[in-house]
Amino acid sequence: VRPLQWVVMLYNNEVVPGSILNISTGNTTRGHRFHSQALIEISDANDYENSLLEQGKVIADYEQRKAKIRAGVEDAAKQHKGIAVIDEDLLDEVASLNEWPVPLVGQFDQRFLEVPTEALISSMKEHQKYFHMLDENGAMMPNFITLANIESKDPKQVIEGNERVIRPRLSDAAFFFETDKKTKLEDRREQLKKIVFQSKLGTVYDKTERVSKLAAKISAAIGGKPEDAERAGRLAKSDLVTEMVLEFTDLQGIMGYHYALNDGENKEVALALTEQYQPKFAGDDLPTTLSGCALSLAEKLDSLVGLFGINQPPTGTKDPFALRRAALGVLRILVEKQLALDLTDLISWALESYQLAGQTAKLDNANLEQQLISYLLDRFRARYEDEGVSVDVFLAVSARRPTQALDFDKRVKAVDAFAKRPEAAALASANKRVSNILAKQDADLSAVSLDSALLTEKAEQTLAKQIESLSAQVLPLFDQGDYSAALTLLAGLQASVDNFFEDVMVMADDPAVKQNRLLLLKQLSDLFLRVADISLLSK
């Protein structure tokens, strides 16, 4: 926070009288503290930006500063035969720190490139706000780009000053890396017993014990190597107690990967250690390996089951364990990696890992499974809204409560496509009417069969034949999860359904005829309910 020195408040060309923090308003401002010494008079509010730029060497517009920095950094890298890597968060930050940004390229000792690239980048970015450069092969160059807030008469001196500052930072990173490599990840596990994950759920060590077992089970279910997933689970948190991660917390998992390779672990195990945290945010990359998928799912499910189990789900204002992000991560992995795993099974397996660890008694939430499944499925809603899917479509599928995330997604996409068809509105309305009719009946229709001899009206005969014919075609499609093809076929029922309700009296005086017609409507409804409750699409 900087002290307030002056206030400019103008309406067109007139000063608006007043004071802020005992500073009277006026029409004079100041420019860059080195490039501009005199007061700058703003004659009109519309001249503010130009006056500061021309007289004060200040780019007042934030977006213009960002654009100038981006272009300047990219150009500076090209001049040194490199490619600038522009981190958007860092760009935002340096744009807020500079009024007259001037990019300068410095260099550091080649030997530091032996340190993992991520550690060098983190050191330069976090401490010094530097951008890094890559060569044409994508390898990191021993250079950095800094933004000076001044056009120096001796830029070489400014560069050398920055080089002197970054050298000890990189030396620290190199020291941490060399020191950490002397102790294997496996040997660090004992230290995890001193770190509490959650008071009722034990230590981070306890979590790795549970997660390793769960990851192995998930890996087996998705065709991976359970032994690799279990090994990765055991080592998953060991890098938390390394010097490098203690200094740069954003490197957790990443350093685990490097140290695992140094320890002689296989590549899949090493990759899983960094992939366990993916996705970290919306749109982030997903794990690339089966062991990584298994470990990421296990890590997130362990937290979800544990926290829901002790009745500590996230609230509207508090989510200290980032369970919302974990839930979305679980769904993304299952859907986008095409993993046909059921949430009920996953939760059950997670509970088993707590049982094997002797911690099940602490999970005293009697409604854990149902509550957590509902929470997970509800995370889908925001995802589909972002994709432009109607809430009605989500609710229609959610009403059937499919607990396999991949299957849920297939249904939503199929119903979304169906809802755009010209037949959809009429069929949704008809299904709503059928639902209302059947809801008022006490008779159990599940034990009776349709009697074709009682179908006396042409409209009901036509509908019955079409339902019978379509059933033979769509039931295999349902079993295959091809809901789009099934609904496309069922859309052909519209005319027959419309004719049925126009020409046939469902509530006939003859009880047998009435029951037969109700059963026909139930068959119609049941076909659509294999996908979703499309009656909820009716306005």
AA letter at 152: S
Does residue 203 sit in helix, strand or coil?
strand
Q: Which helix (H) or strand (E) holds 28?
A: strand 28-29
Report the 10 Å Cβ neighbour count for 193.
Answer: 12
pLDDT recorded at residue 442: 74
pLDDT at 2 over 80: no
pLDDT recorded at residue 1: 66
Cα(142)–Cα(35) distance, integer angstroms: 32
Task: State the DSSP code for 285.
Answer: P
pLDDT of 463-493, one tens digit each?
999 999 999 999 999 999 999 999 999 999 9
Q: What is the per-residue burial (b if ≥16 Cβ within 10 Å, else e) of 360-394?
A: eeebebeebbeebbebbbebbeebbeeeebbebbb
pLDDT at 362 over 90: no
Cα(239)–Cα(184) distance, integer angstroms: 10
Cα(52)–Cα(144) distance, integer angstroms: 30
Radius of gyration for the chain, computed over Cα atoms and rounded to the nearest angstrom: 32
pLDDT at 494 over 80: yes
Contacts of 182 (CB under 8 A, 6+ apart): none
Report the 10 Å Cβ neighbour count for 354.
Answer: 23
Cα(243)–Cα(273) distance, integer angstroms: 17
**Full DSSP string of 494-509:** HHHHHHHHHH--SS-S
Dig out the tokens for 302 from the structure. Answer: 């362990």
Cα(451)–Cα(468) distance, integer angstroms: 13
pLDDT of 20-58, one tens digit each?
999 999 999 999 989 998 899 999 999 999 999 999 999
Contact 133, 140 (CB under 8 A): yes
Count helices and strands in the chain by DSSP H and E runs: 22, 13
Q: Which residue has the tokens 């004719």?
A: 499
Contact 11, 46 (CB under 8 A): no
pLDDT of 425-458, one tens digit each?
999 999 999 999 988 887 778 778 899 999 999 9
pLDDT of 274-310, one tens digit each?
999 999 998 899 999 999 999 999 999 999 999 999 9
pLDDT of 225-243, one tens digit each?
999 999 999 999 999 999 9
pLDDT recorded at residue 360: 74
pLDDT recorded at residue 139: 96
Task: State the DSSP code for 19.
Answer: E
Contact 107, 143 (CB under 8 A): yes
Cα(367)–Cα(5) distance, integer angstroms: 60
**The pTM is what?**
0.87
Q: Please report how many Cα atoms fall inside a 13 Å half-sphere around the Cα of residue 111, on the Cβ side.
A: 8
Cα(475)–Cα(482) distance, integer angstroms: 10
pLDDT at 538 over 90: no
Cα(362)–Cα(69) distance, integer angstroms: 54
Q: Please report how many Cα atoms fall inside a 13 Å half-sphere around the Cα of residue 420, on the Cβ side.
A: 9
Q: Which residue has the tokens 């005992």?
A: 22
Task: State the DSSP code for 196.
Answer: E
Contact 85, 74 (CB under 8 A): no
AA letter at 225: K
pLDDT recorded at residue 377: 94
Q: Which residue has the tokens 């296989």?
A: 266
Q: What proportion of the chain, given as a percentage, has pLDDT over 90?
A: 92
